[in-house]
Amino acid sequence: MIAVVDYGVGNLFSLLCSLRSLGLDCVVTNQKEVLKRAERIILPGVGAFGDAMEKLRESGLVDTVKELGAEKPLLGICLGMQLLFDKSMEHGEHEGLGLISGSVLPLAKDIAPTLKVPHMGWNKLEIVRDDPIFRHFQNGEWVYYVHSYYAANCCDHILGVSEYGVRVPGLVRSGRIYGMQFHPEKSGGAGLRLLKAFSEL
């Protein structure tokens, strides 16, 4: 069973539909016991970093998520991926979960002003390090992004990148913890195949 962490952030409808379309057993929960029983954890998220961390703290799930990351495959998606890092500079400086070393920085400062922010749309994901998560994925397939901040100083953890003025880390990993900056649940067949590979880890 895959448990999707419910901490009051974002719309989980599409994510659940995509997991169910793969025939995967999944549940949305904020219960520690359910998260502990699950085989895999997904940490979703949209919105602002500071607000999301605050909600995760209010849910009392920060320590649980940190512990589970050491025990079983955990996948952070979009803002959920950004939360995995040490800190973010989105509207001030905010401490993250610290599960992957690196920091989250504004794209606008590091790319040409002619490039639009948010980085929104389909971009190619280039594999920089092979990994079981790519079992059903081919180098250069297209994935769907919507974000204005990106993970930096995390070279050792990057599995896949997309070019958008900078090399945007699209897929990262540390131990059993994975992060996807793009939305696999909105990335057509390519995204579904990445989720399938996650379910097989």
Partner 1 sequence: MVSKRIVPCLDVRNGRVVKGVNFQEIRDMADPVEMARYYYETGADELVFYDITASVEGRKLFTDVLRAVASQIFIPLTVGGGINSLDDFDTVLKSGADKVSVNTGAIKNPSLIGAAAKRYGSQCVVLSMDVKRVDGKFHVFANGGRIDTGMDALEWAKRGEDLGAGEIVLNSIDTDGVRGGFDLPMLRAFGEIVSVPLIASGGAGTMEDFLELFQYDRIDAGLAAGVFHTKKIEIGSLKRYLKDSGVNVRI
* Binding to partner 1 in span 18-77, by CB under 8 A: 18, 20-21, 46-48
**Residues 6 or more apart in contact with residue 167 via CB below 8 angstroms:** 161
> Among 185, 42, 200, 72, which Cα is nearest to 136's?
200
**Which of 79, 18, 85, 2 has its CA nearest to residue 45?**
79
CA angle, 88 then 30 then 144, to 5°:
50
The CB-side HSE value for 188 (13 A sphere, CA atoms) comes to 10
Minimum gap (Å) between residue 82 Cβ and partner 1? 13
Is residue 185 flagged as an active site residue?
A: yes
Least separation in angstroms between residue 200's CB and partner 1 is: 19
List the one residue from 7, 149, 150, 164 that touches partner 1 (CB under 8 A).
Answer: 164
**Residue 87 carries which DSSP code?**
E
Q: Please, which of residues 70-109 interact with partner 1 by CB under 8 A?
A: none
Q: Which is nearer to partner 1, 34 or 117 (CB)?
A: 117
Size of the site for partner 1 (CB under 8 A): 30
| Interface residue list for partner 1 (CB under 8 A) | 11, 13-14, 17-18, 20-21, 46-48, 116, 118-123, 142, 144-146, 163-164, 185-189, 191-192
